[in-house]
Each structure stands twice: as C-alpha cells, then as structure tokens.
C-alpha cells in the first residue's frame, strides 16, 4: 500500500509532505491541484470531503480554519471514516509536539516548517499503521482505544504504581508490558482517547533503551501548557510512563523508580508470561478460536491476542497474517455495517453481528454494548457453533473475576 500526506495552510502555502511506500515524490503541480480542487469547491459554497477511484481514495480535512490536511491512499479497504481518523491523529500529533498556540501562530511560515520536523517520526509511524510493520501487534491506532492486557499480578502492581506516582508528585502513571497497559492510575484513564493514543504511539516508537523525558502538549486537556512525559524502562518488556511537571528531576525519578520497582522484578516477569495470550494462564479459550479483539468503548480499552493458545496448529496463519485479517475486518465493518458509539450510521445498516467467510478462515463480529468483539476462526465451522464460541469467549473475557482489564 502507498500513501501521500500533504499539509498546507488554508491560503495554500505547503508546510510538509510525507509519503509511505516505494513511490515517487509528489510534484508541485499535483500538490497544487489537490489544494486547488478543494479550494474551488469552497468558493462554490460546497465542501469536498473525499474522492474515490477504483484503487485510490483521497480525503481532505480542515483544522482550526488554518490547516488543510490531504491524504491519498491506495488501500481500498480503508473507508473515509478510517482515513479521516488518520488525519485527526496526525493533526493531534502536531499539537502534541508543538502546542496549539505555536501551531496557530503562522506569522513565520519557515519557522513553523522547521518546528514541524520534530513530528515526522511519529507521523511516519501513523502512516505505517495503514499497513503496519511485522512487530506491531496493537490495535489502538485504528480503534482509538488503549491496548491492555490482563494479568493476575494486577492488584500488587497497581499498589506499587500508586505508591510510586505519589512519591514523585503526579497522579498520571501507567505500567506497560509488551507495549500494552497492565495497570494505570485512576487519573490516567481520565485523559482523552486522543492523548492516550499519542502517548502510546510515542512510547512504542521510542527506541531508547533507557527511556525518554520530553515536554508534550495534551491535545484536549492542555493544548497550550506542556506536561512532561517520562518513560522509564524497568525490564526488557516492561516500562512505566508518567505525566508530570518540571519537578522532580530525572535523577530523582531514577532513584524513586529503583526504590519502588526493584522489589517488583519477579512480579513483572510473572506478568510478562501472560503474553502472547494477554490473559491469565488459567483462562482457557476454545481451541477453534485463532485470534481475538475485544473493545470496551465505554472504558476506551481493547484486549487482543494473535496467539491465544500455547500450541497453534494453524501454521498457515502466522500472527502477522492474523493481525492483518483482524485489522482489515475491523476497517471493513466499522462505519459500514456496525456503528461506533456516537457515530452517524443509518439504522437500516447498523448490525449487531457480522460473519465473513473466506477460503482459509472465517471472521465473526458481535456487538453488545458497550463492547465489540471480533474473532478469527478456521473454515468448516457452522455459524451457530461460532456464535456459541464467541459468546463463551465474551463471557470469560468480560465477566471472569480473574480477567480484569
């Protein structure tokens, strides 16, 4: 899949262009045409939102009457809903790094262009999510819900995290295991979905072995005053994330991190063993279930696994292949057949259950407010049998006292 992203001021001044895939750079006449056709419709008191051809989709979206983002993608499975969501995430990234005031101050275009370069790595990661790299097993980029895991060590880890955040003077903290949130403070979950997504993408994109300490602007809670995002690596697969003010110093944070988390090493290693099923080992799902994604839109969290069983007999479907199937299935049905909370979808097209049959696998989705569950099955199973397995899995993943997320 190939994609182009252009960002311009409403007056037509280009700010940056990014591309994904092995494709040539956009020429200036094409960039001007993309902007010109949109501007022309505005002069005619109309609004051009998207254009589709047999193999390409183009979407435009304005922000604060000052910026125009345009995305051109060749992936026909991407609907306008998902492409516009991608543009929203990209603009939120711009606010996340620069702050709304500096971003809207377009008096010095060259300075804005220079400042926006800091956003490029994360913007490229977002474009990569249209066709993710092999090591990406999360779904937050398309669901806008935080990826989590469930482990029996949750109560003990939660207590350590609360004591740690209190000792460093913040109420915003989370512990991630294999890039999924295992526990978080109560106030962490009060952050907007857009803010949680930006933090998740940035932390997952950070290749520093120790961690990071940078100022960030929260697009909803604090778009004009920066917070300080600190990520500290605890083990090879675990890290702790904090949002705090200018104090304490990084040296003080390091001392406190070692004081609280040194004794939790065995707990962390035990919690890490829940992966890749991402649920406690005493919860056993039906062997016909190849992978799952369950989303709680009320809590804005999603639980998933590409390898829910220790021995996977369906070797022709690799974890990466199963991930791509689930992502494509989600993008196909959400916004077209199944509506999200608050979304505008004709009731006649809003389903609560969807089956899709293919040569080597079957996809099943079931919506039960506030949840949506997607499951991948092998071929050869009757619909009523898959429906029963899906409901049993749903009960275990949402009602079992040992599966808290």
Give the per-residue pLDDT at 211: 78
Give the per-residue pLDDT at 107: 74
Name all domains of the chain by residue range, CATH numbers in brackets: 3-131 (3.30.450.60), 152-272 (3.30.450.30), 291-399 (3.30.450)
Q: How far apart are CA 36 and CA 51, in angstroms?
A: 14
pLDDT above 90 (res 393): yes
**Angle made by CA atoms 218, 224, 230, in degrees to the nearest 5:** 40
Q: Which two tokens stand for residue 361?
A: 């696998």
Q: Which two tokens stand for residue 9?
A: 């001021």
What does the pLDDT look like over 54-110, one tens digit per residue? 888 999 999 999 999 999 998 777 788 889 999 999 999 999 999 999 898 877 888
pLDDT above 70 (res 336): yes
pLDDT above 70 (res 213): yes
pLDDT above 60 (res 346): no
Q: Which two tokens stand for residue 234?
A: 């605890």
Give the per-residue pLDDT at 344: 57
Handedness of CA 285, 286, 292, 295 (dihedral sign): negative
- Over range 162-184, report the average pLDDT: 97
What does the pLDDT look like over 16-34, one tens digit per residue? 999 998 888 888 888 889 9
- Over range 254-259, report the average pLDDT: 92
What does the pLDDT look like over 273-315, one tens digit per residue? 999 999 999 999 999 999 999 999 999 999 999 999 876 666 6
pLDDT above 70 (res 208): no
Q: How far apart are CA 324 and CA 318, in angstroms?
A: 10
Burial 233-260 (b: 16+ CB within 10 A, else e): bbeeebbbbbbbeeebeeeebeebbeeb
pLDDT band at residue 209 using 50, 70 and 90 as cut-offs: low
Q: How far apart are CA 390 and CA 376, in angstroms?
A: 10
Query: Does residue 312 or residue 241 have the better pLDDT?
Result: 241
Give the per-residue pLDDT at 315: 63
Q: How far apart are CA 222 and CA 220, in angstroms?
A: 6
What does the pLDDT look like over 108-126, one tens digit per residue? 888 889 999 999 999 999 9
Q: Which range has the worst mean pLDDT, 5-19, 227-241, 338-352? A: 338-352
Average pLDDT in the chain: 91
pLDDT above 60 (res 265): yes
Query: Does residue 316 or residue 68 have the better pLDDT?
Result: 68
Give the per-residue pLDDT at 55: 85
Q: Are 8 and 30 within 8 A, CB to CB?
A: no
Kindly report the three-state secondary structure assignment for every residue of 295-338: EECCCCEEEEECCCCCCCCCCCCCHHHHHHHHHHHHHHHECCCE
pLDDT band at residue 348 using 50, 70 and 90 as cut-offs: low
């Amino acid at each position: 899949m190939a994609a182009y992203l252009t960002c311009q001021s409403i007056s037509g001044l280009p700010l940056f262009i990014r591309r994904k895939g092995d494709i040539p750079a956009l020429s200036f006449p094409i960039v001007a045409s993309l902007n010109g056709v949109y501007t022309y419709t505005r002069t005619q008191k109309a609004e051009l939102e998207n254009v589709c051809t047999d193999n390409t989709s183009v979407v435009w979206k304005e922000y604060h009457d000052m910026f125009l983002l345009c995305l051109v993608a060749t992936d026909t499975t991407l609907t306008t809903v998902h492409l516009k969501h991608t543009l929203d995430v990209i603009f939120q990234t711009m606010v996340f790094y620069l702050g709304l005031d500096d971003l809207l101050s377009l008096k010095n275009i060259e300075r804005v262009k220079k400042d926006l370069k800091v956003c490029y790595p994360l913007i490229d990661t977002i474009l990569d999510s249209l066709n993710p790299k092999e090591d990406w097993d999360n779904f937050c980029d398309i669901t806008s819900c935080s990826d989590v895991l469930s482990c029996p060590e949750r109560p003990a880890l939660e207590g350590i995290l609360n004591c740690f955040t209190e000792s460093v003077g913040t109420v915003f903290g989370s512990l991630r295991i294999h890039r999924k949130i295992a526990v978080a403070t109560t106030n962490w979950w009060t952050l907007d979905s857009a803010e949680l997504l930006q933090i998740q993408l940035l932390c997952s994109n950070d290749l520093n072995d120790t961690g990071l300490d940078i100022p960030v602007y929260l697009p909803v809670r604090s778009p004009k005053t920066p917070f300080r995002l600190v990520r500290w690596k605890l083990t090879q697969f675990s890290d702790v994330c904090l949002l705090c003010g200018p104090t304490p110093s990084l040296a003080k944070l390091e001392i406190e991190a070692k004081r609280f988390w040194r004794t939790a090493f065995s707990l962390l290693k035990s919690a890490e063993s829940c992966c890749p099923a991402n649920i406690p080992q005493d919860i056993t799902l039906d062997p016909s279930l190849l992978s799952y994604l369950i989303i709680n839109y009320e809590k804005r969290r999603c639980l998933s696994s590409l390898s829910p069983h220790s021995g996977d007999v369906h070797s022709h479907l690799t974890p990466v292949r199963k991930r791509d199937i689930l992502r494509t299935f989600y993008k196909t049905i959400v916004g077209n057949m199944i509506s999200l909370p608050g979304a505008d979808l004709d009731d006649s097209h809003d389903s609560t259950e969807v089956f899709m049959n293919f040569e080597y696998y079957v996809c099943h989705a079931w919506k039960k407010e506030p949840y949506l569950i997607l499951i991948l099955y092998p071929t050869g199973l009757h619909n009523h049998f898959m429906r029963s397995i899906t409901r049993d899995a749903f009960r275990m993943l949402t009602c079992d006292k040992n599966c808290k997320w």
